[in-house]
C-alpha cells in the first residue's frame, strides 16, 4: 500500500502532506483536513471557512457533499493535563463551537463558503438537510466513552461523532471515498443506540458495529432481497476491517480517483467547455458516490478497455445504478477530441434512453500511452422527443455490452 506522500502524488491535486510546525494544534488540524480530503477531495472540503464576521472562523473544516454537511472541530493536547479532565473540557468546548456552526449555517447567516478550487460557492441551507458534527481529539489516553464525559453530545439535535486523531486516520484510510465515508457515519449513527463507542478504540467500535449492519440495511431498504442485504453487509465488513485495502486490485480504483481530481481542470480553449467552470463539481459529485469496491471493478474494466483500444476501434461499456436512477458510459477511443466528444454525447443520450435513468454520466479518454485527458458530460434533463425518435432509428450500441451493475 502507498504511504501518504506517494498517495498525494498519485491522486493528482491533493494538498501537500502536513509538516510539523506552526502554532500549537495547527499540525493536528491540518492532518484532520488532509484525511477528509482523502475521502472527499479538495472539491468538497472547506478548510477554516470564514464565520459570520470578519476574523471569525466557522469551523476547523466544513465538508459539503450532495445533501450532507460535516462540521468539524479539532483539539490537540499541549501540556501535561490529566487526560480525562482535558478531554471533558475540550469536548464541551468543541460541542459549543459545532452548535454555533450549525446555528450559523441553518439560519442562513453564512451566504458563501470559499473553496480552494472553485472560489466562493453559494451556501443554501435547505440544500443540506443532513448535518453531522465531528470532534477529533489529538491526545493519548486509555479508551473512554465521550458521551459519559459529556452527555450533552447526545442532545445536540444532530449526530456528533468523536474520534481520536489516530483512529480518524484509520477511518479515513479505510473509508476513502465520499460514499463509503458517509455510509460509515450513517451506520455509526444508527447503531449508536445498540453499542457503546470508545474514543481510542475505533477498531473495537467497528468490530461491534458489523453484526448490526445487515439489520440497519434491512430497516432502510425493505424492498431489497435478503441475499443482496447480506452481500452489502459483507462488503461493508471488507471495507471497515481494512480487508479491501489489502487487495492487489486496490490500485485499479485510482483510475476513478484520477478522474475526480482532474474534473476541475477545464481547458477553456475547447469550444464545448462553456459555463462558469463549476461543471467539475457535478462530475466529482457523481463519481464521489462510487464506493471503493465499485471503483476497483470499474477501474479494472476501464484499464482493459484502454489496452484494447490500441487497435484503433471504439471501446466502451455502460454502468447502471438503478437505485440511484443513474447510468454511466466509459469510452476509450483514439478519435480526435471533437469527434470523441460527439461519440460520447451519442452514447450517453442512448444509455439514458435505454436504461430509463434520470441522470447519465459519460467520460471519454484515450488508449494507454503517453499522457491522459478526459472529456466529461452529464445529461440530467429529460431527452427531447425528437432526439429520442432519432436515437431509436439507429442500432443499439449497447446490444453486445453487458452493463456493470
- 3-state DSSP of 189-249: HHHCCCCCCCECCHHHHHHHHHHHHHHHHHHHCCCCCHHHHHHHHHHHHHHHCCCHHHCCC
Does 401 map to a domain?
A: no
Q: Are strands 68-76 and 130-138 parallel, antiparallel or unpaired?
A: parallel
Same domain as 206, residue 112 = yes
d(CA 146, CA 246): 31
pLDDT at 146: 98
Element of type H or E holding 255: helix 254-262
Same domain as 237, residue 125 = yes
The answer to whether 75 touches 25, Cβ cutoff 8 Å, is yes
Same domain as 64, residue 27 = yes
Report helix, strand or coil for 104. Answer: helix
Strand partners, 74: 136
pLDDT at 10: 56
Last residue of a domain, one of 246, 265, 300: 246
Same domain as 190, residue 56 = yes
Same domain as 242, residue 263 = no
Does 398 map to a domain?
A: no
Does 48 map to a domain?
A: yes
d(CA 48, CA 62): 8
Element of type H or E holding 256: helix 254-262
Last residue of a domain, one of 191, 225, 246: 246
Same domain as 229, residue 279 = no
- For the beta carbon of residue 72, count every other beta carbon within 10 angstroms: 27
Last residue of a domain, one of 209, 227, 246: 246
The structural domain count of the chain equals 2
Same domain as 178, residue 274 = no
Domain carrying residue 268:
250-393
The answer to whether 77 touches 86, Cβ cutoff 8 Å, is yes
pLDDT along the chain (405 residues), means of 10: 57 73 84 94 94 91 97 92 95 98 96 90 95 97 98 97 97 96 98 97 98 96 92 97 94 92 75 68 94 96 94 95 94 94 97 97 90 90 96 93 76
Same domain as 205, residue 87 = yes
SS3 per-residue string spanning 2-39: CCHHHHHHHCCCCCCCCCCCCCCCHHHHHHHHHHHHHH
The answer to whether the pTM exceeds 0.85 is: yes
pLDDT at 145: 98
pLDDT at 13: 65
Does 400 map to a domain?
A: no
Element of type H or E holding 388: helix 385-393
Same domain as 280, residue 160 = no
Same domain as 267, residue 226 = no
Same domain as 340, residue 242 = no
Q: Quickly tell me which residue has 479532565 as its cell.
A: 85
Amino acid at each position: 500500500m502507498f504511504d501518504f506522500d506517494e498517495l498525494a502524488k498519485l491522486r493528482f491535486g491533493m494538498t501537500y502532506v502536513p509538516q510539523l510546525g506552526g502554532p500549537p494544534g495547527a499540525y493536528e488540524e491540518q492532518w484532520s483536513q488532509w484525511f477528509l480530503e482523502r475521502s472527499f477531495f479538495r472539491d468538497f472540503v472547506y478548510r477554516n471557512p470564514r464565520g459570520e464576521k470578519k476574523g471569525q472562523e466557522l469551523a476547523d473544516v466544513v465538508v459539503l457533499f450532495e445533501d450532507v454537511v460535516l462540521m468539524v472541530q479539532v483539539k490537540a493536547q499541549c501540556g501535561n493535563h490529566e487526560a480525562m479532565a482535558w478531554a471533558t473540557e475540550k469536548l464541551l468546548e468543541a460541542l459549543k463551537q459545532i452548535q454555533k456552526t450549525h446555528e450559523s449555517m441553518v439560519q442562513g447567516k453564512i451566504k458563501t463558503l470559499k473553496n480552494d478550487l472553485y472560489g466562493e460557492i453559494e451556501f443554501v441551507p435547505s440544500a443540506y438537510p443532513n448535518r453531522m458534527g465531528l470532534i477529533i481529539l489529538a491526545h493519548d489516553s486509555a479508551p473512554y466513552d465521550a458521551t459519559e464525559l459529556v452527555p450533552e453530545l447526545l442532545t445536540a439535535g444532530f449526530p456528533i461523532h468523536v474520534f481520536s486523531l489516530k483512529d480518524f486516520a484509520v477511518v479515513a484510510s479505510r473509508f476513502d471515498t465520499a460514499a463509503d465515508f458517509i455510509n460509515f457515519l450513517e451506520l455509526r449513527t444508527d447503531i449508536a443506540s445498540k453499542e457503546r463507542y470508545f474514543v481510542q478504540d475505533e477498531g473495537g467500535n467497528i468490530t461491534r458495529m458489523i453484526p448490526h449492519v445487515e439489520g440497519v440495511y434491512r430497516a432502510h431498504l425493505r424492498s431489497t432481497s435478503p441475499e443482496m442485504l447480506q452481500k452489502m453487509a459483507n462488503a461493508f465488513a471488507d471495507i471497515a476491517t481494512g480487508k479491501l485495502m489489502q487487495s492487489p486490485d486496490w490500485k485499479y480504483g485510482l483510475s476513478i480517483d484520477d478522474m475526480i481530481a482532474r474534473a476541475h481542470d477545464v481547458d477553456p480553449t475547447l469550444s464545448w467547455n462553456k459555463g462558469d467552470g463549476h461543471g467539475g463539481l457535478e462530475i466529482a459529485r457523481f463519481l464521489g458516490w462510487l464506493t471503493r469496491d465499485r471503483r476497483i471493478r470499474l477501474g479494472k474494466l476501464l484499464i482493459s478497455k484502454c489496452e484494447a483500444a490500441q487497435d484503433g476501434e471504439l471501446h466502451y461499456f455502460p454502468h447502471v445504478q438503478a437505485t440511484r436512477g443513474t447510468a454511466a458510459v466509459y469510452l476509450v477511443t483514439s478519435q480526435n477530441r471533437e469527434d470523441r466528444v460527439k461519440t460520447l454525447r451519442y452514447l450517453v443520450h442512448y444509455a439514458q434512453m435505454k436504461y430509463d435513468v434520470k441522470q447519465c454520466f459519460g467520460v471519454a479518454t484515450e488508449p494507454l500511452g503517453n499522457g491522459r485527458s478526459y472529456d466529461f458530460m452529464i445529461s440530467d434533463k429529460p431527452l427531447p422527443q425528437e432526439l429520442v425518435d432519432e436515437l431509436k432509428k439507429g442500432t443499439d450500441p449497447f446490444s453486445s455490452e453487458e452493463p456493470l451493475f
